[in-house]
Homo-oligomer: A and B are copies of this chain.
Amino acid sequence: MDSKTLSLYFSLFNEIGIIEQLSRTLFESQLPDGFLMSHFSVLNHLIRVQDGQTPLKLAQAFQLPKTTMTHTLSVLEKHGLIEMRPNPKDGRSKCVWLTTKGQDFRNEAIEKLAPFLATLAEQFPPEAVNQLVPGLTEIRQFMDKQRD
């Protein structure tokens, strides 16, 4: 692979890294003090996808180490935003359930983020996003297969 092509792929991951950084900072500025993107992401996922998932499922959904998810969940639980109950199907496992407080927290965050997303949508309309996401998904799926 020539160095120019190499550079292209690096710029891809670099661009992604910067957007991740910027979006995280921006999102976090809209969250209550002491809360981070990681906290919001989990709550949002529980609503968007499914309630009652296991910690492992959540860790896999974000491709994070189990141990990181354990920590994040413990913070959410300490604040009463989620409940951890034993998994009736597996004695080793648990299920993560949103509390009403957790749902409210997420909805309020969404409301705070809405103006920003609306502004983004003006310059970068949904059709443009639709054109972008499949490519990203393809890359993600490839990288998913690679890690072994």
* A-to-B contact residues, CB < 8 Å: 1, 5-27, 37, 41, 44, 48, 62-64, 110, 114, 116-121, 123-124, 126, 128-133, 135-140, 142-144, 146-147
Contacts and interface: CB of A to CB of B under 8 A. Distances in A.
A141 to B, nearest CB: 9
B114 A22 contact: no
Given A10-B48, A16-B16, A22 B143 contact: yes
Copies of this chain in its oligomeric complex: 2
Given A1-B121, A14-B41, A124-B142, A136 B19 contact: yes
A92 B144 CA distance: 45
Given A9-B117, A48-B7, A62 B137 contact: no
B62 A17 contact: yes
Contacts of A13: 19-20, 23, 27
17 contacts: A5-B121, A9-B126, A10-B48, A11-B133, A12-B132, A13-B19, A15-B133, A15-B136, A15-B137, A16-B19, A16-B20, A17-B24, A19-B136, A20-B20, A123-B142, A124-B139, A128-B135
B120 A21 contact: no
Given A15-B133, A15-B137, A114 B147 contact: no
A120 B62 CA distance: 21
